[in-house]
Structure 1
Amino acid sequence: METRQDPVAAAGFILLASALIAGTTLLAKLAGQDHLGDPLHPLQISHGRFLFAFIAISLMAGVLRPRFSRPALGLHVARSASGWAGISLMFAAVTFIPLADATAISFLNPIIAMVLAIPLLGERVGPWRWGAAAIALVGAFVLIQPGTGSFHPAALLALAAAFIMGFEITLIKRLTGREAPLQILWFNNAIGCTIATIAVLFVWQTPSAGQWIALACLGTMMATAQACFIQGMKRADASFVAPFQYATLIFAGLYDFVGFSAIPAATSILGAGIIIAGGVILAWRETRATRRPIQAR
């Protein structure tokens, strides 16, 4: 059954998803530093993310009882492995640099996915899309500041996470045309949990009570954010929804200020703004490219 278009509800779902996603990075930073006990390794934090997200989505599937079709296991494994690697690097980055900076760098995802779609999906990229990529790249250089005294090597971890997650987006594009959203989420978290469990064996330490609570909240918030994002995308066009996703940066900056008294530097604000400008241009161009064949028909 087709969901009725409701832009107000769509904006609400996306804003809630943005607040939750930014919240997961805050919890990762708390667990990765000494605020709740001895710092946890990023691989252990990502294990908690996948473990508790898998539990939450399995409970959701148990209530809704969806019919799963035959999964494309190869795509699921590749997508989950890249998602696990990307989120592990992201959690490592936020331990050392401000949440807002790491979040802004992660907004390179769609740009990277666009470039990777050329060899992987056979898509053509026109001058507008290349222009959006160039603008976002300039913003990344402003934000990371390579070759200056303000440069922090951990920014490269966030950049690597953005590249890997961009690759993940191309795999999601292939999956969404074949399987239902809940099936994709369940397999993603089931396989991701398996990979994360194997990896955490090499760095495991017993979390404190506070860290267990943080990890449980992190995974549950991520699963809820994914569900909210899907609901938002079902209720409005991508062109309407896309700008609201950048609220994640606002929430990350707010959480960083409240939790760690971190105030964004002028270069951070400028770099983030340039990256967002590139992302908005790309979203606008993607929407126009999608509408043309519909109008032709």
Structure 2
Amino acid sequence: MTDEPGLVEPEAHRGLTPNVRGALWMLASALGFTAMTTLIKFLGDDYPAALQTFYRQAAGFAVLLPVILRQGRAAFATTRPGILFFRSAAGTIAMILSFYAFQKMPLADANALSFTRTLWLVPLAAFVVREKVGPLRVAAAGVGFGGVLLMLRPGAGGDFALGVPALAMLAASFLFALTITGMKVMTRDHSPTVLLVWAMTLGLIFSLPGAFLTWRWPEPVDLALLCIMGVLGTVTQACYIKGMQVGDAAAMAPIDYIRLVFTALAGFVLFHEVPTVWTLSGAAVVVASTLLITWREHQLSKVRSRPAGA
């Protein structure tokens, strides 16, 4: 029996191909993400982003608590706690910023900007991990950031649409990309369980000051919704990881963009938000660029894994 936290596949999935099974997990992740961001926005008037982040981290820690109790000190075994502290601090700040953006922006706009984390990975891979970045990846990232400008710059009457919430989401995407880069470094000698336990434990600790400064006692119904929002965040992440694990990464990446459709529908039906042509056009450019980068990464990984002389 494995100690790695994960999801067990239903019996109905067993007869399906790996990519179909992975696609179902990715769809579940997209639905969970949409429900979570809808609750973030719905509760945003009464519960600030810092307080919502605390509930998100508390739910994740509660899910992992049985693993921590079972493994004891082994769940925290590490030789590089400094990087883990930095990743968790950056991840907590990123979560607060992204929650703030989801509260203040139309869901479709905020979700489209959240995908820029894939674009940030290109310069981070070059400067932090010292990976060789080819001209195709650089060009794709440049075009993708052009799509971001397309979403943000034009607005009603020719005004700039770039505001604090949009800047918050871009900053959150950069910080999330930074944590992903750090994870790539740490996975060389750390198990996924150790990384997840450190992230959730430190994330809960780092979210305490913000929760303390913005604290208010929730009504019973609000408390239930906040707990559901936190659990959805953990389940969404688990479904995403499972989908990527079961299916081919290059095939799974496009499915993740169904989140754009789900959040746009939720924003329209529940909050009467209508995406602008600039949002739709810019999002299309960002999606195309990130898909190209993902495909390129997949091709390079196949070349690296090919035996010498093959």
Normalising by structure 2, report the TM-score: 0.87
Is 1:41 aligned to 2:59, yes or no?
no
The unaligned stretches of length 5 or more in structure 1 are: 34-38
C-alpha spacing 1:95/1:156, structure 2 compared with 1 (3 Å) = same
Q: CA deviation at 1:9?
A: 1.0
Report how many residues are paired.
291
Q: Measure the CA separation in 1 of the matches of 2:239 and 2:194.
A: 15
CA contact (8 A) 1:57 1:223 kept: no
CA contact (8 A) 1:105 1:159 kept: yes
Is 1:240 aligned to 2:248, yes or no?
no
Is 1:19 aligned to 2:27, yes or no?
no
Once the two structures are superposed, the pairs formed by residues 37-186 of structure 1 within 5 Å of their partners are: 39-59=46-66, 68=75, 70-71=77-78, 72-145=80-153, 148-149=158-159, 151-153=161-163, 154-186=165-197
The unaligned stretches of length 5 or more in structure 2 are: 3-8
Cα displacement string for residues 165-196 of structure 1 (whole angstroms, at most 9, x for unaligned residues): 11111012122232222332222111100000
SS in 2 for 1:95: helix
Q: CA deviation at 1:152?
A: 4.7
Q: Measure the CA separation in 1 of the matches of 2:60 and 2:201.
A: 9
CA contact (8 A) 2:19 2:247 kept: yes
Q: CA deviation at 1:93?
A: 1.0
Q: Measure the CA separation in 2 of the matches of 1:25 and 1:64.
A: 33
Once the two structures are superposed, the pairs formed by residues 275-286 of structure 1 within 5 Å of their partners are: 275-286=286-297
Q: CA deviation at 1:46?
A: 0.8
Q: CA deviation at 1:296?
A: 4.4
Once the two structures are superposed, the pairs formed by residues 213-224 of structure 1 within 5 Å of their partners are: 213-224=224-235
Partner amino acid for 2:174?
Answer: F
Partner amino acid for 1:244?
Answer: I
SS in 2 for 1:121: coil
Cα displacement string for residues 218-277 of structure 1 (whole angstroms, at most 9, x for unaligned residues): 111111112112211221221111111111212211221222121211111111111000
User: Is the deviation greater in 173-182 or in 10-19?
Assistant: 173-182
CA contact (8 A) 1:132 1:279 kept: yes
Q: Which residue of 1 aligns with 2:300?
A: 289
Match of 1:259 among 270, 286, 290: 270
C-alpha spacing 1:175/1:15, structure 2 compared with 1 (3 Å) = farther
Q: Which runs of structure 1 show a deviation greater than 3 angstroms over 4 or more consecutive aligned residues?
A: 59-69
Q: Which residue of 2 aligns with 1:7?
A: 19
Normalising by structure 1, report the TM-score: 0.90
CA contact (8 A) 1:233 1:241 kept: yes
CA contact (8 A) 2:98 2:172 kept: yes
CA contact (8 A) 2:100 2:168 kept: yes
Partner amino acid for 2:107?
Answer: L
Q: Measure the CA separation in 1 of the matches of 2:54 and 2:261.
A: 26
User: Is the deviation greater in 149-158 or in 130-139?
Assistant: 149-158
Partner amino acid for 1:237?
Answer: D
Q: Measure the CA separation in 1 of the matches of 2:141 and 2:302.
A: 21
C-alpha spacing 1:198/1:211, structure 2 compared with 1 (3 Å) = same
Partner amino acid for 2:95?
Answer: I
Q: CA deviation at 1:149?
A: 2.6
CA contact (8 A) 2:68 2:75 kept: no
Q: Which residue of 2 aligns with 1:211?
A: 222
CA contact (8 A) 1:51 1:219 kept: yes
